[in-house]
Each structure stands twice: as C-alpha cells, then as structure tokens.
Chains A and B, each alone.
Chain A
Amino acid sequence: MVDKESAVPLNKRIGMANSADRFTITVPKRPWWMWVLSGLWLLAEILLVQTALASSREGEERAAAVSWIAVAVLAAVGMLVRLCRRRLGSSERGIHRF
C-alpha cells in the first residue's frame, strides 16, 4: 500500500524541479518581519550578555545573575521558535525528520 504523498517524488515535494539540463531549487524567502524579529532578538541577547559581564565587573552580582538568567531564557525561546518553524516548514512540505 503506497500513500498518495509518497507517490510524489521527493524533488517535487521540496520544490526542486527537473528539466532536461538543470535542476531548479526553490527556497522560500524569510518574510521581512522575521528578519526584524531576529535582529531584535539578537540585539536583546547582545545587550543582556554585555550587561551581565559589565555588572560582574562593577560588583553588581544580582544584576549579573538576573542578566545571565535572561540571556538563557531568551536564547531558549529563540531556539524553540526556530525549531518550531523548521518543524512546521518541514511538515508543510511533507518532510519528516526522525
């Protein structure tokens, strides 16, 4: 028993088309707002890491600890979002990772 999706060749499912003499790979663009969000995320991470390091140097130990926690939480959130988007993108195209 072969399901309908498996019957479609892989190159079609991921946006790769054949012609007589070349492959064409279609990669969907990230939307502009994704770039903005990524930039803001990166900016926040840089600020927090710098705050954590500077606070340690200035003897503000609690500020440093809170900043490191914020760095970790923000990094985890960023990675989670990235992971979810990759999963979502893969399943939309019928690719399943194991």
Chain B
Amino acid sequence: MGIERKQIRRRALLQAAGLLAAGGAPAVAANPARGAGNGGRPWWVKPVDHPTLGYKNGALKRFSGNNMFALYKELKEQREGPGSYEAEQTARTARFAAWMRQPKPGYSLPDRQLSEAAWTLMHTVQPGTGILSWTRISVRTPAEMGVDRHTAPPEETANIVKAAARLFGAGLVGIAPMNEVYTILRQSNKDIVFEDVAAPAITETKFVIPRSMRWAVAIAVPMDLGLLSRVPTALGDAATGLGYSQSAFTAGSLAEFIRGLGYQAIPSVNDTALSVPLAVDAGLGELSRLNKLVTPEFGPAVRLCKVFTDLPVACDQPVDFGLVEFCKRCKKCAEACPPRALSFDDEPSFKTRGPWNNPGHKAWFEDSYKCFQHWQKVGDGCGICLASCPYTKGAQAWIHGVVKAAASMTPRADGLFRIMDDAFGYGRQHDPEQWWTRNPPSHSTRE
C-alpha cells in the first residue's frame, strides 16, 4: 500500500512538472532576460565573427553626410522643375492645417502637438551642443574629487557601461571597435577629422575626434508601440520624436557618466557617424530589407545612438538570428510601403539606388527619394515599414519569442510565419482616436 501511494505521488509530481514545463518553455524562449550565458540575449541569437551582410573589401568609404534631408530639395527640382519644392511645402502646410481643423483622426491639434512636444529635447540639440556636448557638461571628474580615474578589466568596465546605459534608457546596448569609415565626412558645414589629440574639440572649421577613441557604445532605444501602431499620422510621428529625444538623453547621460570615470566621450544620435553599421558590429541586430537595423527583441522599432570613448571596454560580436533568410522570403515591409520605396529583390546586393546610399556593402537598398516624397504627403514621417515588420512586436505574448526562435532555426517555415502574421492582423494601423482613451503606458522606469 505504501509503495502504491508513493508511485501515485510520483506520477502526480511528474504530471505537475510536465505542466510547469509546458507553461514555462515558451516563457524562457520569449523572455530575453532568461537567456543567460549570451549576454542576456535570447538563446537563439547567435554571436558570429562577421555581420551577416558583408562588405566589399576596400570599397566602403566614408559617407558624405548628404542624406535625403540634405538632398531632397535639389533632387525634387532636378526631377520636377524649379519651384516644385516650395509648391509642395506650401500645399503640405495647407493640407495639415485643413486636417487639424476637420479634425482628421491622427492629425488633430492634440495629436500634432504631442508629436511636437515629443521632439522637444531632440530639437534643442545640434551635434556637439547641449546634452550632446563633446566636452564635460556638469559631472565632476575624479581629479576634482581627489581620486584616480576608473581602472578595471575591459569586460568589467563594459558591464558597468552597459548597466549605466540601460538605466539611462537603452533597450539594447553593445560595444564595437571604432571604425573611422563609419564616420561621415561633414556636418554643420564643418569637416569631421581624426587627430592625435588628447580631447575632442569643435573649431570654426572642423570636428576633431581623438584617435585614442577606439570604442563605440551602440545603443538602441525602443520606440513606443502604441504610437508606432498609429503611423502614418502626426500621432505616429510622436513615437519617432520621443525615440530621438530619449536617445539624446541616453547618449548624453552616458557620455557624462564616462567623463565622470575620467575618460573622454562623444555622444551622438544621427550625427557624426552612421549608427546602423556600428549597431550591427556591436551585435544589436542585423541589417534588414528595410536597409535599417532589425533587433531580435524590438524589431526595427528602435532609434539608435552611440557614444565614442577612449575608456577601454570589451567589444561584442555581431549576431545572427536568421533575419536575412527571413527577409528574403517575407517582403511584408516592401508590400506595405505605399510609394514602393523598398526593394522587392530576393537577394541583397551591392547595387545602390541613389546618392543617398553609401556603396561598398551588401544590402537591400531603398529609394529614399520616393520615401521622403511620401512623407510630405502624410506628415512629418511615415514609419509604415517599421510597424509592419513581423519582428515589431510587444513583449507580452510568449508566442512571439517562440516564433522568432523557430524562424532563427528553420528558414523553411518563414513563409508560414509571414502568413500567420497577416492572419493575426499584425502591422495594421490601429485607430488613432483610441490612443487617447486606451490609458497609454507610462514610460516610468519603475518595474
């Protein structure tokens, strides 16, 4: 009798364990924090020696810095004649005023002003100014406090820097070696140069980066999904503005922290250097069909910033989580893009689409002119490609982690995952008017 009872108890215990495993397995797959042993990343994010989309040896050059913001007016007038840019901007201003008066959902005065307010911090800084200062703002140096500057093994220092970055708002943080090729040639009508100097400097003619700055801390700040799911509207643009403002705060605060340890630091958002290749090298994600970074945890719904420093820190490796194979089959972003600005090619290539692209690396290059032209029609930005990507998902549903893990291991199922993504209705625009009444989440850091 005693033996039988023990056997029954054992069976009950096994059944309970099975239940727990059934419930717990997806949680482990989904929760990045549980992927210990991989820098806190999910277990299906594999470190690799080289980025999944490579470079042509010696072909990659420093980019001019002339992105579509700088090129658009000139290109517009080349294609559509003198005055076409001004005419477009006048029509755009009138259209937005009409939408505010109606009001059109997502473009009401509160929607518009939420976006304007979200951009506030970013609008107050220029490269090297304000919170993005290249020199100390207010932090006291170790010398001022009568102590030596921080010294520790690079791995330990990297952990300290990453912890500080997360506190200041980073969703993901990685470290890559500084690569001069990623810095742009000019900004704010000044050259960007590398020199053997002790500290960063901004003169009348140039931005000077010390050659001793051999490390780049790459940071991804997650965008608000509640706002991003309302693109393309003024409300949706608030997600972009908030992401950039938070990026400026994160990079600026981290730079001050590093200066407080006794080292030099240059914070940067979209200025000074290309953020995407640095983020790829630092293992934050892979280059995607969008020709933008897609991270395993937040998809492309991130804004990037970085801090260059001479503080010796251990570097991270690029990662592979099956994204390139997924992008080859999915194409959801390209189909969702109203002006058809994204590539439908099956394979990435070295073939660029215009002067806004930087040649020398493999990618699905986009037509930024078409993209920017569409922005003028719908608002200050679009973002449909970001919202439609199957990797752009909230963190609450375990199944997304399971699907991403499966996609990383079984590219043959990628087509099925794309179909399921459509069937579940992901990537569709949410009702903009509901945003104000859905009790939007607080961005407080309290957990």
Contact = CB atoms under 8 A, between A and B. Distances in A.
Q: For the complex, would chain A's binding face be called helix, strand, loop or mixed by DSSP majority? A: helix
Contact of A62 (B402, B425, B434): B425
Given A47-B26, A50-B399, A51-B397, A62 B18 contact: no
Given A47-B26, A63-B425, A58 B396 contact: yes
A55 B397 contact: yes
Contacts of B397: 50-51, 54-55, 58, 63
Interface string B164-182: 0000000000000000000
Interface in A46-76: 46-48, 50-51, 54-55, 57-63, 66-67
Interface in B205-237: 225-226, 229
Interface residues of B, number: 23
Nearest to A58: B394
Contact of B399 (A42, A51, A57, A59): A51
B123 interface: no
Contacts of B423: 66
B394 A42 contact: no
B424 A60 contact: yes
Contact of A47 (B394, B398, B426): B398
A42 B19 contact: yes
A42 B398 CA distance: 15
B398 A50 contact: yes
Interface in B7-23: 18-19, 22-23
A15 interface: no
A62 B229 CA distance: 14
A40 B182 CA distance: 48
B23 A46 contact: yes
A66 B424 contact: yes
Sorting the interface of chain A by its residue count into under 10, 10 to 19, 20 to 34 or 35 or more gives 10 to 19
Contacts of B399: 47-48, 50-51
B446 interface: no
Contact of A59 (B19, B424, B438): B438
A67 B428 CA distance: 17
B398 A51 contact: yes
A54 B394 contact: yes
B438 to A, nearest CB: 6
B229 A47 contact: no
B25 interface: yes
A46 B162 CA distance: 35
A62 B398 contact: no
B25 A43 contact: yes
A89 interface: no
Contacts of A67: 424
B430 interface: yes
Contact of B426 (A43, A50, A60): A60
Nearest to A48: B399
B217 to A, nearest CB: 30
A94 interface: no
Interface of A: 39, 42-43, 46-48, 50-51, 54-55, 57-63, 66-67
Q: Pick the 8 closest A-B CB pairs, nearest first.
A: A62-B425, A54-B396, A54-B397, A58-B394, A63-B424, A43-B22, A51-B399, A51-B397
Given A39-B18, A46-B26, 9 more contacts: A43-B23, A47-B26, A48-B399, A50-B399, A58-B394, A61-B425, A62-B424, A63-B397, A66-B423
Interface of B: 18-19, 22-23, 25-26, 225-226, 229, 394, 396-399, 402, 423-426, 428, 430, 434, 438
